[in-house]
Structure 1
Amino acid sequence: MKMSLLLSTAAAIGLIIGTMLLWSILNGMGVFGDIDGLVKSLQNNTADPFSIMDYVGLPRVTSLAMVVGVFNVVILTAIGTLGAYLYNICAALVGGVQLTLTDD
């Protein structure tokens, strides 16, 4: 359980950092500005303009990545614990694998 908790926490931290890095790259390339320009050219209602940054701003994307990361930590820890429990049951039933190491 400890190992799966540590590994899933590391994966969650990697997810959050990766999300922030990808968002920064896309923002630096001007992808969000291009999407805004495309939507504004298609939109007829100029009184209430649509802005993609209202939906995919860095704080919103980062907080969503954190929520997904916490969910992954809980789920992966539970799955890892269940997998270890099932492995121990199977190893007890079949006797496990015996390995002899020698130093020549």
Structure 2
Amino acid sequence: MRPAPKAKVRKARLLVSKVDPWSVLKMAFLLSVALGIVTVVASVVLWTVLDLTGIFDRINELLRDVAGTESSFDLKELISLGQTASFATIVAVVNVVLLTALSMLSAVLYNISSTLVGGIGVTLTDD
């Protein structure tokens, strides 16, 4: 018995000449929402870790030593968990809007520039 002949690897050279702005908008929106959720969760986790390790108390002690004993400065009141989560949510919403708009603009600019230069060449192979 002869072994089966090995199939020849096929290659296809293609050009990405146009990107659909609507699909880029949808994908960019979903990915930026996911990034926004990660931002909020990471900021809450970071604040919780700083609180559990006693970093806020150490900073308060340091500021009392520097400013004197009459200082009643409390860092937890200034940067509470609620304020941190609110700020992170605002940053996440702004990032969603900006990243979606920039992705859409990038798709439109790519379409304009690909009409001038022909697009990006891609080679696909069959393994």
TM over 0.5: yes
Q: Aligned residue for 1:89?
A: 112
> Deviations for 1:50-82, whole angstroms, at most 9, x for unmatched residues?
110111110011100001111111111111000
| Bigger mean CA deviation after superposition, 5-14 or 90-99 | 90-99
1:11 counterpart residue number:
35
What RMSD, in angstroms, separates the aligned Cα atoms of the two structures? 2.1
CA shift for structure 1 position 45: 6.8
Scaled by the length of structure 1, the TM-score of the pair is 0.86
Alignment of 1:59-70 (within 5 A): 59-70=82-93
Paired with 1:102 and 1:51, the residues of 2 have a C-alpha distance of 62
SS at match of 2:36: helix
Residue 106 of structure 2 aligns to a residue whose secondary structure is helix
Query: Relative to total residues, which structure has the larger helix share, 1 or 2?
Result: 1
| TM-superposed deviation, 1:103 | 5.2
In 1: Cα distance, 2:66 partner to 2:120 partner: 65
Match of 1:38 in 2: 62
- For the pair 1:27 / 2:90, whether they are aligned, the reply is no
Tell me, which stretches of 5 or more residues in structure 2 are unaligned? 1-24
Aligned residue identity for 1:11: L
Amino acid at match of 1:36: N
Q: Which has the larger radius of gyration?
A: 2
Letter in 2 for 1:23: W
The alignment covers a number of residue pairs equal to: 103
Alpha-carbon separation, structure 2, partners of 1:41 and 1:97:
62
Deviation at 1:36, TM superposition (A): 1.1
SS in 1 for 2:72: coil
Which structure shows the bigger proportion of residues in strand conformation? 2
